[in-house]
Structure 1
């Protein structure tokens, strides 16, 4: 789950939206719950006084013998009426008596829950006697405000169990007092089926909207990432679609401009070097002709050797520039077959080159450029290491082309220097043994155009030259 959260924009976007929904709904529930509780208490108090006024008027209009029957007929699951012959006494004693009255079964309650299989109105869960005796201990009987009690009869009001219970005593005028107690502790739950359904539907709707928005954002970003990776491997790509939100569209436009500038820069450099090489051929040819007129044979031979070296360096520089160009199209090839064919070509001319066949690997690359880099490393292994043993090696992030030899290898402090143009470990000026010094530069440039690199590793038997190519270019492995 954590890995999905880190890697997926959609998961993060939906997660943040759902978190915002939960927080906002919780705050809304807290606010509405407080308002609802206050409204319920006000409604309960209004109903309480209304029933007290109504019952007082009713009892005044009927014979005393019928009062008990009328009171019992008016009781509910959360209210009780009873008559006493004395007025308000000790508040604690009346609260305990009210609790006993509320615990009394109703005479007029008919339970049909078993017959119709629905839940009957729940009786309020009454508090313990010790709680009722200790709560509101500092509060006594008070007169109701005139706004809620306009009758001439004397009345006294009291709270019990904090503010959940309401009680009143009303003098009826013939020595009897009406006692009325109401207790409504259960004001509902925070979460019920309706609220859960509402939140669930809102969460589902937000998740769908979040998935749609994140997909609209992440798809161009994925295309941009793939194009950037392919550009790093030197592929010629069509311009990205400049669509989507403004920020994504501007990013695609910037990438297309960058790609065009890079391509134009490489093309201009290649054209410039090709022009330089072409222009140098004429003065070199003229210089060669004039050298032939030199009478001293030794001097003439040295001058011709210098001219050949200069011409070779010019041609090598042009080849180096072409090796870094991206004119060749990228296509999928069998990498195992490509490396095997190069090794067979060397074996056919009696070079000590062997290839250990591996699994078929289809890889996207520029085969002619890659062939040049592999051939260069194999020739170096044969020339300086006596032999070349070539094989493919699969890693988690790279596909390695390994060229192993049994030579002394390259000193570790020279691993980076050997890739510099015109740098040669072989100190003689003999091109037959040391070359121009651009072979490894060209090979590394080709590897880097594919998004990889070339490294050297010393082993117990010699040295390994490794062309490490990124696995992103691998199409199929069977």
Structure 2
């Protein structure tokens, strides 16, 4: 049943309802069928003794030569009567005699199946001699209870073929014995067309009700899941309707409150960062003016260099905060075209950047933010890894933008530290060679807002920086893509374009 836990709410609800229906109906049918069988057997036994009493009184009043015609006229397909001079005390032998008598053709039977289309059985269902010999072997003749046989004649009773066959031997006034054998007709199987139709109709009604109830629960949950996924990618999500059952409506209400609080928190944090960066401009300008009064040229140069570095860090922080305040709209773009344009811009600046063009992918993202993240990674590869070879490849659940270089790579112990703001592994602190240390921080923040991440893989010939984006953002698969919306597999053909190397 583990597979059931991975199904939707509607499938689980309907499946469990149908299982409960089949089990309950089966138990109810078994109980009612057992009660019905017991009632039918009791009625058949009562009718058998009533007929035996009536037939005994009749034979006691008619002449001996009319007894046999009376018995033949009273027989049915499941009840046979015969006279003997004595009755055997061996119950097993009498049962075999009863089976033979029941197999005797009925003389007064009229077969209507040849004249009409009525579904009447042309042959009676009779006991099998071998089965009768095996059953009831531990039972012998017994005297019937007075409530069943109130007549003065002596009578002996037994069962055969378990409890479906009834046998009775009655001693008449002239010393002869009247033998009666009756066989209960098969009442049919409990699993018949009526029971199947009843269960099917009940299952259909319960399934319709279950689908209606499950849809009222699952539809808001699917809407909530989609909004949560979009919110996790940093998209502006409108408040979801707070409808449905009480629990689902309260969940939607809590999600809307959480979304508002998160948006307010991010906006307040970004505005505070922008305000701090803006307020730092005044003391920096004051320090620059005061450094002009320093008479030592070397000390003045060092002061101005430090002030310029602080100014650059402040401007970068303000620019980052300003862009974060802008809520860029999420829209579908051609991801390969975006990456290719970044590589072409870098190649136009005579930087060693190459782009392996593959198939087209339409992806939902915030283009400006994603462009900045990719550009930061490409510029880092050119600055520290001598070159940047950019490509797009498919993963099991992601679309990966791979930036490969031929640099020394980043030690495993420092791969997490480089994502911290203002952290540089280049130790010269030269603005022309190391920047301010915000590039990778911005790149990972943007990728995680889209539901992805940034990873490093170091090899013998260089390092690969992988920018992963989830497949959920794919809108329109390109030619050769699979049904899951991911780019094609091994059949992809790459083409390297626009490669520039400095002289």
- What range is the shorter-chain TM-score in? over 0.9
Corresponding residue of 2:300: 300
Corresponding residue of 1:331: 331
Please tell me whether the aligned partners of residues 359 and 477 of structure 1 are also in contact (alpha carbons under 8 angstroms): no
- TM-score normalised over the length of structure 2: 0.88
Please tell me whether the aligned partners of residues 88 and 156 of structure 1 are also in contact (alpha carbons under 8 angstroms): no
Name the SS for the 2:27 alignment partner: helix
Correspondence 1:76-475 to 2 at 5 A: 76-86=76-86, 89-117=89-117, 118-120=119-121, 122-129=123-130, 131-133=131-133, 135-184=135-184, 186-322=186-322, 327-475=327-475
1:407-446: CA deviations, max 9, x gaps? 2222233221211222111111211111111111111111
1:56-89: CA deviations, max 9, x gaps? 2332343332221121121111111112233564
Q: Shift of the alpha carbon at 1:462? A: 2.1
Corresponding residue of 2:491: none
Provide the C-alpha distance between the structure 2 equivalents of 1:109 and 1:377, rounded to a whole number of angstroms. 100
Structure 1 pair 268/143, CA: closer, same or farther in 2 (3 Å)?
same
Please tell me whether the aligned partners of residues 333 and 367 of structure 1 are also in contact (alpha carbons under 8 angstroms): yes
Please tell me whether the aligned partners of residues 76 and 106 of structure 1 are also in contact (alpha carbons under 8 angstroms): yes
- TM-score normalised over the length of structure 1: 0.93
Q: Shift of the alpha carbon at 1:43? A: 0.9
Please tell me whether the aligned partners of residues 453 and 468 of structure 1 are also in contact (alpha carbons under 8 angstroms): yes
Corresponding residue of 1:35: 35
Please tell me whether the aligned partners of residues 5 and 11 of structure 1 are also in contact (alpha carbons under 8 angstroms): no
413-422 or 296-305, larger mean C-alpha shift: 296-305
- Give structure 2 stretches of 5+ with no counterpart: 479-503
Q: Shift of the alpha carbon at 1:276? A: 1.2
152-161 or 445-454, larger mean C-alpha shift: 152-161
Q: Shift of the alpha carbon at 1:158? A: 2.2
1:66-125: CA deviations, max 9, x gaps? 221121121111111112233564433322322221121111122232443434165233
281-290 or 378-387, larger mean C-alpha shift: 281-290
Q: Shift of the alpha carbon at 1:183? A: 1.6
Please tell me whether the aligned partners of residues 102 and 126 of structure 2 are also in contact (alpha carbons under 8 angstroms): no
Correspondence 1:42-81 to 2 at 5 A: 42-81=42-81
Corresponding residue of 2:498: none
Please tell me whether the aligned partners of residues 78 and 185 of structure 2 are also in contact (alpha carbons under 8 angstroms): no
Q: Shift of the alpha carbon at 1:208? A: 2.7
Provide the C-alpha distance between the structure 2 equivalents of 1:221 and 1:473, rounded to a whole number of angstroms. 20
Q: Shift of the alpha carbon at 1:10? A: 2.9
108-117 or 412-421, larger mean C-alpha shift: 108-117
Please tell me whether the aligned partners of residues 444 and 453 of structure 1 are also in contact (alpha carbons under 8 angstroms): yes
Provide the C-alpha distance between the structure 1 equivalents of 2:134 and 2:391, rounded to a whole number of angstroms. 89
Q: Shift of the alpha carbon at 1:325? A: 5.3
Name the SS for the 2:280 alignment partner: helix
Provide the C-alpha distance between the structure 1 equivalents of 2:67 and 2:32, rounded to a whole number of angstroms. 42
Provide the C-alpha distance between the structure 2 equivalents of 1:191 and 1:374, rounded to a whole number of angstroms. 68
Task: Give the alignment's Cα RMSD to 1 decimal.
Answer: 2.3
Please tell me whether the aligned partners of residues 323 and 446 of structure 1 are also in contact (alpha carbons under 8 angstroms): no
- Give structure 1 stretches of 5+ with no counterpart: none
Provide the C-alpha distance between the structure 1 equivalents of 2:347 and 2:74, rounded to a whole number of angstroms. 112
Provide the C-alpha distance between the structure 1 equivalents of 2:185 and 2:228, rounded to a whole number of angstroms. 66
Q: Shift of the alpha carbon at 1:282? A: 1.8
Provide the C-alpha distance between the structure 2 equivalents of 1:410 and 1:135, rounded to a whole number of angstroms. 88
Q: Shift of the alpha carbon at 1:460? A: 4.7
359-368 or 89-98, larger mean C-alpha shift: 89-98
Structure 1 pair 121/191, CA: closer, same or farther in 2 (3 Å)?
farther
Q: Shift of the alpha carbon at 1:472? A: 0.6
133-142 or 219-228, larger mean C-alpha shift: 133-142
Aligned residues: 477
Q: Shift of the alpha carbon at 1:3? A: 6.3
Corresponding residue of 1:17: 17
Q: Shift of the alpha carbon at 1:264? A: 1.0
Structure 1 pair 269/164, CA: closer, same or farther in 2 (3 Å)?
same
Please tell me whether the aligned partners of residues 415 and 456 of structure 2 are also in contact (alpha carbons under 8 angstroms): yes
